[in-house]
């Protein structure tokens, strides 16, 4: 390989600033609104609601905080637990996306809920509606579903919502990765009864951190505002009837987010160009890129690929390490990631499915064939039924930074190709 390592690292996804952010931060500074109140927050909430097509947005310190308040509210609404402590979901099963970041479901555990993982569908790499139907057959009493869009490529969240409605369950949509993506022209973040978006530093737009809770339900919006600012009652002194949180967005952070929103479309266009360059550059290799479902428009946040099973060299992973044996004409995610790293390029494995995580080993996992706990990793023995484990085994995220140049990306593509030699 005649390439030399890049002098400047090629990253997976980093913040892309434009200048307006600084103006809004400076406004906050000059007017001394350096707290969790101010015009930047008001504007972020207005813009976030408008761009997602929902009635209310509540600015919070992170998407995880937003998901926590969604989960807590859902628990109270469903089970009527008093809001004087954690535990709104105590002992209750919750159906959760399986191939996602653990922040999607951590809040379920904060509230004492028990995640049940629903397998991924091959056609979208998102929660499989058929597996969700199966899960409701097995556990008809479940009343809450948490669904996350993967890497900005929407699955059939419309079908997931229909299934939830048919079973009288609430849907929380974690659109952290999918801001600006649509299904049938409708924005991700507007399908759930309650939803959340993220302004974390590597997302499609960023505030350095932060998130919003999105909903059409004014009761949730009001509760989220109250709980996120320590749950003060309306009284002349600090009066409390419920447990509170310090989850409100800072007006300084909101300045960054406010400055970023006008560039969401531009970032999506850049990410789409990156995806299409990979698709073209890798088309003669035995690989598939993130699937795009009919009637969806992704935001293309992270380009990813999976290697065809026939072209996988032997690869084994334990809880913390991976080994592989190179074979001519074949490769594996570990080899590609290690090779990219050698050239100063950042890639990443696909999210390791939650049902494979040590802390959830005893938790139920439902595939299209029903309860699969006893059969986990059965795909290795043939008869692929654990779709998440299979995609994790064969897949990786490719560097998708907006600021990567075309020539840098073409070099990255050559490095990937060399792994198949
Ligand atoms: C990034 C991410 C989150 C967490 O967002 P924060 O704003 O960092 O709390 C949650 N869910 C998914 C799917 C994510 O990718």
The DSSP string of 118-149 is EPBPTTTSSB-HHHHHHHHHH-TT--EEEEE-
State the distance from the centre of ligand 1 to the C-alpha of 26, rounded, in angstroms. 27
Tell me the per-residue pLDDT of 13-60, one tens digit each, with 9 for 90 and over: 999 999 999 999 999 999 999 999 999 999 999 999 999 999 999 999
Supply the pLDDT for residue 381.
41
Alpha-carbon torsion angle 48, 53, 55, 59, nearest 10:
-20
- What is d(CA 313, CA 303) in angstroms, rounded to the nearest whole number? 22
Distance 60 CA to ligand 1 centre (A): 13
Question: Residue 199 CA: which ligand 1 atom is closest?
Answer: 7
Summarised one tens digit per residue, pLDDT across range 141-183 is 999 999 999 999 999 999 999 999 999 999 999 999 999 999 9
Out of 69-83, 291-305, 386-400, 405-419, pick the least confident: 69-83
**Ligand 1 atom at minimal distance to the Cα of residue 149:** 13
Which pLDDT belongs to residue 385?
Answer: 79
Rounded average pLDDT over 321-349 = 97
- Residues touching ligand 1 (Cβ under 6 Å) are 62-64, 100-101, 103-104, 148, 174, 176-177, 198, 200, 211
pLDDT tens profile 190-206: 999 999 999 999 999 99
* Residue 83 clears pLDDT 70, i.e. is over it: no
What does the pLDDT average to over 257-285?
Answer: 98
Which of 48, 99, 104, 126 has the most ligand 1 atoms within 8 A of CB, as the residue to mutate? 104
Closest residue by CA, ligand 1 atom 5: 63
Q: What's the confidence (pLDDT) of residue 382? A: 45
221-236 pLDDT, tens per residue? Answer: 999 999 999 999 999 9
Residue minimizing CA distance to atom 11 of ligand 1: 104
Going by DSSP bridges, is the β-strand pair 186-187/182-183 parallel, antiparallel, or unpaired?
Answer: antiparallel
Q: Which of 63, 188, 210 to mutate to test the pocket of ligand 1 (most atoms within 8 A of CB)?
A: 63
- What's the gap in Å between 307 CA and the centre of ligand 1? 26
Q: Which residues contact 384 (CB under 8 A, 6 or more apart)?
A: 390
Residue 26, token pair as written in the block: 């400076």
Q: Which atom of ligand 1 is nearest to the CA of 148?
A: 13
Mean pLDDT of 260-284: 98
Mapping DSSP to helix (H, G, I), strand (E, B) and coil, where does residue 363 land?
coil
Neighbours of 14 (CB within 10 A): 15
| 2-6, 73-77, 311-315, range with the lowest pLDDT | 2-6
Kindly state the tokens that stand for 157.
């969240």
Give percent of the chain above pLDDT 90: 92
pLDDT recorded at residue 2: 58
Q: So what's the pLDDT on residue 86?
A: 74
Q: Which atom of ligand 1 is nearest to the CA of 203?
A: 1
Minimum CA distance residue for ligand 1 atom 6: 63
Quote the longest CA-to-CA distance of the chain.
75
312 CA distance to ligand 1 centroid (A)? 30
Q: Which pLDDT belongs to residue 372?
A: 79
| pTM of the complete model beyond 0.85 | yes
pLDDT at 377 over 60: no
Compute, in angstroms, the gap from residue 174 CA to the centroid of ligand 1: 8
Distance 239 CA to ligand 1 centre (A): 32
């Amino acid at each position: 390989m005649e390439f030399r390592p890049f002098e400047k690292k090629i990253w997976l996804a980093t913040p892309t600033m434009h200048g307006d952010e600084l103006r809004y931060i400076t406004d906050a500074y000059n007017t001394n609104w350096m707290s969790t109140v101010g015009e930047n927050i008001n504007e972020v909430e207005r813009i976030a609601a408008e761009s997602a097509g929902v009635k209310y947005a509540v600015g919070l310190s992170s998407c995880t905080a937003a998901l926590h308040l969604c989960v807590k509210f859902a628990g109270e609404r469903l089970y009527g637990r008093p809001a004087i402590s954690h535990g709104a979901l105590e002992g209750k099963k919750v159906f959760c996306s399986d191939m996602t970041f653990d922040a999607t479901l951590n809040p379920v555990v904060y509230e004492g809920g028990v995640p049940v993982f629903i397998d991924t569908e091959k056609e979208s790499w998102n929660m499989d509606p058929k597996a969700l139907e199966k899960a409701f057959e097995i556990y008809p009493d479940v009343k809450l579903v948490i669904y996350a869009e993967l890497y900005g490529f929407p699955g059939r969240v419309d079908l997931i919502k229909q299934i939830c409605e048919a079973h009288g369950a609430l849907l929380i949509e974690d659109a952290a990765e999918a801001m600006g993506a649509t299904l049938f022209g409708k924005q991700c973040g507007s399908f759930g009864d309650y939803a959340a978006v993220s302004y974390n530093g590597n997302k499609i737009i960023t505030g350095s951190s932060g998130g919003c809770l999105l909903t059409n339900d004014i009761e949730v919006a009001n509760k989220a505002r109250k709980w996120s600012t320590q749950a003060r009652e309306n009284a002349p002194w600090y009066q409390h009837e419920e447990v509170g949180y310090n989850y409100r967005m800072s007006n300084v952070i909101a300045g960054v987010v406010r400055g970023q929103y006008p560039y969401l479309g531009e970032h999506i266009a850049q990410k789409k160009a990156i995806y299409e360059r990979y698709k073209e550059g890798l088309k003669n290799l035995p690989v598939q890129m993130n699937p795009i479902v009919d009637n969806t428009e992704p935001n293309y946040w992270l380009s990813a690929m999976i290697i065809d099973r026939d072209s996988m060299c032997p690869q084994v992973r334990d809880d913390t390490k991976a080994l592989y044996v190179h074979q001519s004409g074949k490769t594996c995610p570990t080899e590609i990631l290690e090779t990219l790293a050698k050239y100063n390029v950042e890639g990443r494995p696909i999210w390791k499915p939650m049902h494979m995580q040590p802390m959830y080993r005893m938790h139920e996992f439902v595939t299209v064939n029903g309860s699969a706990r006893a059969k986990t990793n059965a795909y290795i023995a043939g008869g692929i039924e654990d779709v998440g484990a299979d995609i994790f085994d064969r897949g990786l995220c490719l560097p998708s930074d907006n600021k990567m140049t075309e020539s840098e990306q073409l070099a990255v593509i050559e490095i990937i190709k060399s792994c198949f030699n």
